[in-house]
Amino acid sequence: MGNLSRMPEPLREAVGNLLLAMADEEVLIGHRDSEWVGHAPILEADIAIASIAQDEIGHAILWYSLLQELGWPDPDRMAYFRDPPEFRNATLVELPRGDWAFTVVRQFLFDFAEKVRLEALMGSAWTPLAEAAAKVRREETYHLMHSRAWIARLGDATEESHQRMQAALDLAWPHALGLFEPAPGEALRVAEGIQPPEAELRARWEAEVRPILEAASLVIPQAEPIYGGRAGRHTEHLASLLADFQLVARSGLGETW
Amino acid sequence: MSDGREAKGQLTRDTILAALETVKDPEIPTVSIVDLGLIYDVRVKDEEVEVDFAPTFVGCPALHAMEREIVERIQSLGAHSVRVRRVYRPPWTADRMNERARQALRELGIAPPRPAPAEITLTVFEKLPCPFCGSTDTRMENLFGPTSCRALFYCNTCQQPFEAFKPL
């Protein structure tokens, strides 16, 4: 299935909901990562987080571009001119950047969620999505190597590093489970071969992240998922993030540059 | 000639590819986008041209600059309309780079990549030859570098830091 104009209406909406969640999550985690530029604990980490931020925002543009082909507004309008309830990201990516441990843990949980999602979407019945997923999956290899190395390095390095990493995991985990909140229209997407069920993705994700976290002496909390983000219900942190992220675009300066 | 006939005669796949040899990645200014293997296809129909262009990294900030230059070069050959399509299949890998690109990278102090395996692991970065002295006694310092497509290395023999193009 490659022809966009022939996608029937309920499916177009359902595929758009999936892309919207993916795009919003990438652009927001990219922004949170970019808040470290000039502030990371070591120079090498600063370069890495800047590069990762750039990659994630690039991936957001790709998903927003596919949305545009389905009839949504252009990527800049999507990123800069929507208000919090219109964003459909899991709440994990909007939480404040926190300390370095939280940044590392969040990125690790996010990167592996993205990995299992992309690997599944490489088999999507919608060709443009399958092709884009294969491309992004290769790029993500570098993020995966980087974030799992930081988990191993800080998980049980010192008492303080362990405590900070465990606290970060306790905070991030239920929000990370929200990365598998089904966006509206899941049943139709699954029936049409666009994606496997979110529950299946979550199981694959847990099978990947649990052994890595446990090997770093971290205890995975027993917690219920924090859902709502994919339906536009967010924490108070999204509004302040967007106030910063969207300020220049909304000031109108761009028109005269 | 003012009727455009001369320009129209220049508009073939080959003349377009030759013109695109002058378009460089602004972050690697000695290597053309043709030698990097970023041009997947060129289709000419009358005075309309469509170019399939593959990004190295999707988030590369130089994409817009390169696409603008592609359009300008082809318009100067007399094309009426030029469309640059970003394509992702097959994903760009370092295997698409030709020997001229690899040599130009070395001259810039950037180690060209090894052939891209199906799944990239850290072993791809072991004993990568130093672009300055050729020694393989080198180590990867950072998977990330000054651009998305480059990583940072150090040569234990000539004691120079260097960059390497990621295989992707």
Name chain B contacts of A4, Cβ cutoff 8 Å.
none
Average pLDDT, chain A: 95
Q: Which comes out higher in pLDDT, residue A257 or A173?
A: A173
Residue count (chain A): 257
**Cβ of B2: how many Cβ atoms within 10 Å?**
5
Task: Decide if the complex's ipTM is over 0.95.
Answer: no
**Radius of gyration from C-alpha coordinates of chain B:** 18
Give the whole-angstrom CA distance, residue A119 versus residue A219: 27
Closest alpha carbon to A182 in A220, A139, A216, A231: A231
Superfamily name with CATH number, domain A8-256: Ferritin, core subunit, four-helix bundle (1.20.1260.10)
pLDDT for A145-192, tens place per residue?
Answer: 999 999 999 999 999 999 999 999 999 999 999 999 999 999 999 999
In the DSSP assignment, the letter for residue A132 is: H
**Ordered structural domains, chain B, with CATH:** 5-86 (3.30.300.130), 98-165 (no CATH)
Q: Phi-psi region for residue B11, left (φ > 0), alpha (ψ -120 to 50) or beta?
A: beta
With contacts defined as CB-CB under 8 Å, which chain B residues touch A61?
58-59
B165 — pLDDT class (breaks 50, 70, 90): very high
Sheet of B150-155: strands edge to edge?
Answer: B110-111, B161-165, B150-155, B138-142
**B121: chain A residues, CB-CB within 8 Å:** 145
For an interface test with A, give the residue of B88, B93, B147, B165 to mutate (most A CBs within 10 A).
B88
DSSP 3-state assignment of A235? coil
Q: Are A17 and A24 in contact (CB under 8 A)?
A: no
Q: Do A142 and B61 touch (CB under 8 A)?
A: no
Question: Would you call B120 and A132 a contact, using CB atoms and an 8 Å cutoff?
Answer: no
> What's the pTM value of the predicted model, to 2 decimals?
0.93
Residues of A at the B interface (Cβ-Cβ below 8 Å)?
Answer: 44, 47-48, 50-52, 54-59, 61-62, 131-132, 134-136, 138-139, 141-142, 145-146
How many other CB atoms are found less than 10 A from the CB of residue B132? 16
- The whole-number average pLDDT for the span A115-133 is 97
Q: List chain A domain ranges.
A: 8-256
DSSP state at residue B28: E
Which of A44, A135, A136 faces B142 most closely, judged by CB atoms? A44
Chain B residues within 8 Å of chain A (Cβ atoms): 57-61, 87-89, 91-93, 119-122, 141-148, 152, 166, 168
Kindly report the nearest CA distance between residue B77 and chain A, in angstroms.
Answer: 29
Q: Which residue of A has its CA nearest to B58?
A: A58
Residue of A nearest to B140 (CA): A44
Summarised one tens digit per residue, pLDDT across range A216-248 is 999 999 999 999 999 999 999 999 999 999 998
- Secondary structure class of B119 (helix, strand, coil): coil
List of chain B residues whose C-beta atoms are within 8 Å of the C-beta of residue A139: 57-58, 148, 168
A156-178 burial code (b ≥16 CB/10 A, e <16)? eeeeebbebbbebbebbbbbbbb
pLDDT score recorded for residue B9: 59
